[in-house]
């Protein structure tokens, strides 16, 4: 499974947007929840799992969509399984790392 990733630098923050590449360009809606996996936001390049894991460790704001990227974020202890929402059975999670 390819990983699509985009790193944004916003002031002092490093924002990581990543998704399973097969979800790029798709839109999911269910009840009050909806997400559009826009290429402009989630894709700067396709990366290896190792590169994605490294980016997870550097990011201060994280936005993820897809089974593969969320599984990796759980393995890295960045995302807790209890904080995942599913929209049309597609997992989505966000995280903010607090630096003191």
Q: What is the pTM of this model?
A: 0.94
* Rounded Cα distance, 13 and 3, in Å: 22
**CB distance 27 to 35 below 8 Å:** yes
Host domain of residue 15: 3-96
Q: Can you tell me which residue has the tokens 């990543």? A: 18
The count of domains in the chain is 1
* Rounded Cα distance, 59 and 91, in Å: 20
CATH number at residue 33: 3.30.1860.10
pLDDT of residue 100: 64
Residue 99 reports pLDDT greater than 90: no
Reported as a single tens digit per residue, the pLDDT across 55-93 is 999 999 999 999 999 999 999 999 999 999 999 999 999
pLDDT over 70 for what percent of the chain?
Answer: 98
Reported as a single tens digit per residue, the pLDDT across 7-61 is 999 888 999 999 999 999 999 999 999 999 999 999 999 999 999 999 999 999 9
C-alpha to C-alpha distances, 15 to 31, 62, 89, nearest whole angstrom: 27, 6, 25
């Amino acid at each position: 499974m390819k990983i699509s990733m985009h790193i944004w630098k916003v002031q002092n923050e490093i924002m990581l947007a990543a998704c399973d590449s097969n979800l790029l360009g798709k839109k999911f809606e269910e009840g009050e929840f909806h997400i559009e996996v826009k290429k402009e936001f989630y894709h700067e390049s396709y990366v290896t799992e190792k590169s994605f894991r490294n980016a997870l460790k550097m990011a201060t704001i994280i936005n993820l969509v897809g089974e593969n990227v969320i599984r990796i974020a759980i393995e890295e202890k960045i995302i807790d399984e209890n904080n995942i929402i599913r929209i049309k059975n597609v997992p989505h999670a966000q995280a903010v790392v607090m630096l003191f």
